């Protein structure tokens, strides 16, 4: 779980910016999107095949 402690004279904007950075580093958003709704086995297979295809393209650059 991402957590920050704002400083004494730190503004809310900078504290929010630090919190967003901590959340993105922790990888919470992709995990949240993955568990947002039920995924059928066919959808899961298609998603994995697409990821494998993208990974293969990156490998040959």
DSSP secondary structure letter of residue 46: H
pLDDT of 29 above 90: no
pLDDT in tens, 37-61: 888 999 999 999 999 998 887 776 5
Nearest CA among 44, 24, 19, 26 for reference residue 34: 44
Per-residue model confidence (pLDDT) at position 36 = 83
Percentage of the chain beyond pLDDT 70 is 95
Per-residue model confidence (pLDDT) at position 55 = 85
Rounded mean pLDDT, 2-15: 92
């Amino acid at each position: 779980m991402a957590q920050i402690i704002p400083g004494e004279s730190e503004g809310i904007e900078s504290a929010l910016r630090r919190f967003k950075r901590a959340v993105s580093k922790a990888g919470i958003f992709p995990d949240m999107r993955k568990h947002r709704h039920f995924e059928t086995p066919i959808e899961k297979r298609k998603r994995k095949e697409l990821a494998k295809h993208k990974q293969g393209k990156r490998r040959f650059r």
